[in-house]
Chain A
Amino acid sequence: MSEKTLDAELVKQAQKGKLHAFELLVNRYQQKVSNVVSKFVKDIHENQDVTQEVFIKVFRALPNFRGDSSFYTWIYRIAVNTSKNHLVAKSRRIQNSNVEPSDAENFASAADYRSLDTPDAVYARGELEQAMSKAVESLPEELKSAILLREVDGLSYDEIAEQMKCPIGTVRSRIFRARDAIDAALKPLLSENTKRTAYVR
């Protein structure tokens, strides 16, 4: 099943009202959408809010999705429009509020203070990224190449097999083992993070 068919199947299930299928779709496209939003919205916290808003709009518009274009092309358009609307609304809000000249002067340089993230969340995110970076670095060379060719260069398994001069079965195994190794490094942090979030909430 190609990635496009997989998306189409998940969309079909979500259109039938299966929220779990939509959850899988969100987790599949969250980063791509966030990357699009980040081109318009620079603030990290706002980015998360806008990304979430994009998916809520996507869910509401799901009955209208006919599958003429790919799911990603469709949500890409929604992400761009939502980001632009957010910027317009924000500029209106800024015009209507009384900003002190001193605050305006410090606005650009005070990104750390603007973020509404708790120090815990910032630390956890940083810790997660560090752990992942370390796990990728410590992978055996053939696993690292396989996962990077797949995730960064976007090559298919056939193309990777050709490039690495190995059977496709080996590529399947290498990519999985790479993911499994990084996942093993993440799991303790993720469970700790979940506990922390649950405590904060």
Chain B
Amino acid sequence: MSDKSNQNISELIDGELDKNSSEFLLKRLMSDKTLSESWNNYHLIRSFLQKENQAPLLHNMGQSVIAELKGKSISQDMTTSKSSRLLKPFMGSAIAASVAIMAVFMFQSNTINHDNTILAETAANSFKTSDQLITPPAAYTARVEQPIYNTRYPSITPQIQQYLTDRNAHFSDNLPRYYNAEYLNQLKKRKTIDNTAE
């Protein structure tokens, strides 16, 4: 390394080097170990001359600070990855629990909006009614007047009746069938009446 470079560093640390040379020298300082050594030593001389009584003389603290920073960032990464690994199973169960709570909450808010008689029937039969399956809580429902015995599904609209009939016809027996609790109860009652009559 030439004396000229060292003189430039000496001027740079005093803020007496022109802008272009300073920028160029700074770039070199970042990559050239010998130059940065001169930077450190010239600052050590400054430290010695400016040192106050109680203060210790420091040399190249930058190296230990950078090592500390690198060590901390690595250990932080390690602790975060460790904690995330530990938390993973808990996170899974937490998600499952929150989904279950949401489901219960939605089911409750849905049932509150319905007629008490339908609720009672549902509870008794442990089945969901067509209203529960199809009607969202905030939906507007239109009542369609129909003779009760003209249809398999007396409590629902003709469009839905058609849809259910089509779907049940389409699926084979091993797939779930759409049914109506009211109709099922009526069938059960008829069977019981027939049995007692026989």
Contacts and interface: CB of A to CB of B under 8 A. Distances in A.
Interface of A: 1-6, 9-10, 13, 18-28, 30-32, 34-35, 37-39, 42, 44, 47-48, 51-52, 55-56, 59, 125, 128-129, 132-133, 136, 147-148, 150-152, 156-157, 172-173, 175-176, 179-180, 182-183, 186-187, 190
A156 B16 contact: yes
B10 A1 contact: no
Contacts, number: 164
| Secondary structure class of chain A's binding surface, majority of residues | helix
Contact of B42 (A3, A26, A157, A183): A183
Given A6-B12, A26-B66, A34-B56, 17 more contacts: A20-B29, A24-B36, A27-B62, A31-B50, A31-B51, A34-B58, A35-B51, A35-B52, A132-B45, A147-B49, A150-B14, A152-B49, A176-B6, A176-B10, A180-B3, A180-B10, A183-B38
Nearest to B47: A31
Given A47-B56, A56-B68, A35 B6 contact: no
Contacts of B39: 24, 27-28
19 contacts: A1-B23, A4-B15, A5-B22, A6-B13, A6-B15, A6-B26, A13-B30, A23-B36, A24-B29, A24-B62, A26-B65, A27-B39, A27-B60, A30-B58, A38-B56, A147-B49, A157-B14, A186-B44, A186-B45
B61 interface: yes
Contacts of B55: 31, 34-35, 37-38, 47
Contacts of A1: 12, 15, 17-19, 22-23
A22 to B, nearest CB: 7
Given A51-B58, A157-B14, A151 B41 contact: no
Given A9-B26, A44-B56, A190-B41, A23 B14 contact: no
Contacts of B36: 20, 23-24
Nearest to B41: A183
B65 A59 contact: yes
Interface in B57-74: 57-66, 68-70, 72
B48 interface: yes
Given A32-B50, A38-B55, A47-B55, A55 B61 contact: yes
A200 B142 CA distance: 89
A57 B33 CA distance: 26
Contacts of B49: 136, 147-148, 151-152
B66 A6 contact: no
Interface of B: 3, 6-7, 10-19, 22-23, 26, 29-31, 36, 38-66, 68-70, 72
A27 B40 contact: yes
B16 A30 contact: no
B62 A22 contact: yes
Contacts of A18: 30
A63 to B, nearest CB: 14
Contacts of B3: 176, 180
B69 A59 contact: yes
A26 B61 contact: yes
Contacts of A34: 55-56, 58
A32 B48 CA distance: 11
Nearest to B10: A176
Contacts of A28: 13, 39, 43
